Structure 1
């Protein structure tokens, strides 16, 4: 177990977000609460939902007792490195990608519209020719 002087990035802390490996960050301190998940009175889901962010507000809103705060300190493994950037936001698409996507979608729509129209046209022609033979 690391000493309190150990620094962790939020990105590193966010990787520990499962029932088998759970870290939470509260007030820029990093806690490994994996061994406590089964004992947490609010259930492990509440704690797991608090991973990958500073969960100080959630911790305070829950109205934890002084005893709970002391217990939390026993799980402290280090501090958050506030000099590192927070977890980078996922870039869904850029404007260029968006316009490329729209153009490709339009092209596909035109192609898939043409196929049923051709099938209908051929069916009509075959129907007319078949009815003339009778």
Structure 2
């Protein structure tokens, strides 16, 4: 186990000449890797000062990338300095009422069916007049 850093200490390392990241509770000095990173240095620089675990996992890094990270390890993060992630709570929505939906569909059909019949009747009448 390496040195333990606070998130504030890690966040101070946020330049192309000194760049540290927090991934899975560990601190990595990625400064030497900035130029070689396939996603570009901007991606790494934008991940400083926060827990970059989700960003790292979302990309789907290879096992060789994970092995390479071990060489960049400088310590652990003091987990009490990282804000906890809040659990997603879906917004409150009115209960879906099947009866109201059925009622709407019936009223819509009561309106559209006569219009379709009228349109077909006019079309047939127009067609038979123009054919004669």
TM-score bracket, normalised by the shorter chain, equals 0.5 to 0.7
Matched, 1:15 2:2: no
Q: Secondary structure at the match of 1:42?
A: coil
> Is the contact between residue 8 and residue 79 of structure 1 (CA under 8 Å) also seen in structure 2?
yes
In the alignment, structure 2 segments of 5+ residues that lack a partner are 84-132
TM-score (norm 1): 0.59
Find 1:46's aligned residue among 39, 43, 47: 43
TM-superposed deviation, 1:5: 2.3
4+ long deviations beyond 4 Å: none
> Is the contact between residue 2 and residue 76 of structure 2 (CA under 8 Å) also seen in structure 1?
yes
TM-superposed deviation, 1:86: 4.0
Find 1:37's aligned residue among 34, 57, 65: 34
Q: Secondary structure at the match of 2:28?
A: strand
Q: Secondary structure at the match of 1:57?
A: helix
> Is the contact between residue 19 and residue 48 of structure 1 (CA under 8 Å) also seen in structure 2?
yes
TM-score (norm 2): 0.60
> Is the contact between residue 51 and residue 82 of structure 2 (CA under 8 Å) also seen in structure 1?
no
In the alignment, structure 1 segments of 5+ residues that lack a partner are 88-134
